[in-house]
Amino acid sequence: MRVLFVKPENYQAVCNWYDRLKEVKNHPKTTVICQSPEEFRAQFDKDKFGVRYTTFYFDEEFGMINTVKCFKEFVRLYGDEDARYISATMKMRTISIDRLLLAGDFNVFKGFCIDPDCIDDVIRSAKRPLSCKSLL
């Protein structure tokens, strides 16, 4: 399984490209294209998106802030241990959408992880309950 996170401005172009791409469509891996962590959460099924066989690709233009938000969502959905596994085994990858659209190949990527010195802080932050104080 592949999950490709793209910025909203690139979403339609990437979906159109994927619909036309026979080589990737016939590949045994299914690709899900998401614009946000919330969209991924809405489609999430732990059996379908198993941590051991899912790779997460991030449009280089998606931004690091959004990528960290996605990782925090992984913590909430998969739990601490599996989120650490995703990071440690570099199952997160950045990819140039322009190169992806041109080459039609997911093998042009850079693996990355959450800095091991910061991962505990990121996981704690993901598990912290959201609190909102009304201004009224």
pTM: predicted TM-score of the whole model, two decimal places: 0.85
Between residues 73 and 19, the one the model is more confident about: 73
Whether the per-residue pLDDT at 103 is higher than 60: the answer is yes
Q: What is the pLDDT of residue 24?
A: 54
pLDDT band per the 50, 70, 90 thresholds, residue 99: confident
Mean pLDDT, rounded, for 95-108: 84
The overall average pLDDT reported for the chain is 87
Q: In whole angstroms, what separates CA 111 from the centre of its chain?
A: 12
> Helical H runs in the chain?
8-20, 22-25, 37-43, 64-78, 80-88, 97-103, 119-127
